[in-house]
Amino acid sequence: MRTPVIAGNWKMNTTPHTAADLARSVAERTSGLLGVTKVVCPPNVCIPAVKAALHGTDVEVGAQNVHSEPTGAFTGEISVGMLTELATHVIVGHSERRSLFGETNTGVARKAAAAAAGGLKPILCIGESLDIRRTGEAETFCKAQLRESLEGYSAWDSLIIAYEPVWAIGSGEAASPMIAQVMASAIRDEISDIAGQAAAERVPVLYGGSVNPQNAGPFMDRPDIDGALVGGASLDAEAFSAIVQITAGPISP
Ligand code: 13P
């Protein structure tokens, strides 16, 4: 049985002060909503303030990126060891990192492996562009991207995959729950091919791309979709908490 995950990617938004306020508000609004792993991923400089604000709550902290080397001359970068005191998760291979900062599958694979080896849970993002979807090759593309981004990976119990079609990110046009389910199932098949059926059954597969409280429900009802990676709506505590609530289901009396 996989525990659903709702993760908020705050991207390059908030300051340490506003991030702590947002985190506190999410924790207050989602306290008592059980059976969902809740994660917020602030910018690196906000992580200490968010960690302090979330002390004693069940909301976990993630980073948005990490370097694969443990230390060294990598100006501006952050290592796994720096994050483990502060965070439990880290997003790797987000499409914005891939398209704007030149990240490759090989580099993403190194980050995922380093994160897991250091005790962080990687949230590995994959997804096709609109051009690729139009060619009808989305599944082939995503499977290859997944396989290459998992080269050398072995910590299947700590892995989370996020399927984020590039055309759905920040566009207000989410994929249909059916498209997301078909891809989530293909992702699980590919993991089964790489690591076996038991591993594939344990890895949560999230959908990301214009998720909001109005459209979240039908994604969560699909058998292979285990939660969401939320961008814009995660900056609004009420909207993010509503998505957590929808995923948790009705509160028992
Ligand atoms: P939006 O929810 O703003 O479309 O962003 C999705 C995303 O990129 C999460 O990582």
Which residue of 5, 9, 124, 212 sits with most ligand 1 atoms within 8 Å of its CB, as the best mutation to test the pocket? Answer: 9
Q: How confident is residue 1, by pLDDT bands cut at 50, 70 and 90?
A: confident
DSSP calls for 194-250: HH-HHHHHHS-EEEESS--TTTHHHHHTSTT--EEEESGGGGSHHHHHHHHHHHH-S
C-beta 228 within 6 A of ligand 1: no
Residue 52 binned pLDDT confidence (cut-offs 50, 70, 90): very high
Q: Is 170 in the pocket of ligand 1 (CB under 6 A)?
A: yes
Which CATH architecture is the domain 5-247 placed in?
A: Alpha-Beta Barrel (3.20)
User: Mean of the per-residue pLDDT values for the chain?
Assistant: 97
3-state DSSP helix/strand/coil % of the chain, to nearest 5: 45, 15, 40
The whole-number average pLDDT for the span 34-47 is 98
Average the pLDDT over 174-191 and give the result: 98
Helix (H) or strand (E) holding 9: strand 5-9
The residue-averaged pLDDT of 83-92 equals: 98
Catalytic positions = 94, 164
Q: How many residues does the chain have?
A: 253
65 lines ligand 1 (CB under 6 A): no
Q: What per-residue confidence (pLDDT) applies to 142?
A: 98
Radius of gyration of the chain (CA): 17
Task: Establish whether residue 187 lines the binding site of ligand 1, counting it when its CB lies within 6 angstroms of any ligand atom.
Answer: no
pLDDT in the model for residue 122:
98
Report pLDDT digits (tens) over 138-172: 999 999 999 999 999 999 999 999 999 999 999 99
d(CA 2, CA 37): 10
Q: Minimal CA–CA distance to 91: which of 70, 115, 107?
A: 115
Which CA distances in Å does 14 have to 46, 147, 194?
Answer: 8, 34, 38
Q: Give the span between the Cα atoms of 19 and 33, in whole angstroms.
A: 21
Q: Tokens 């690729």 map to which residue? A: 132
Tell me: pLDDT of 133 over 70.
yes
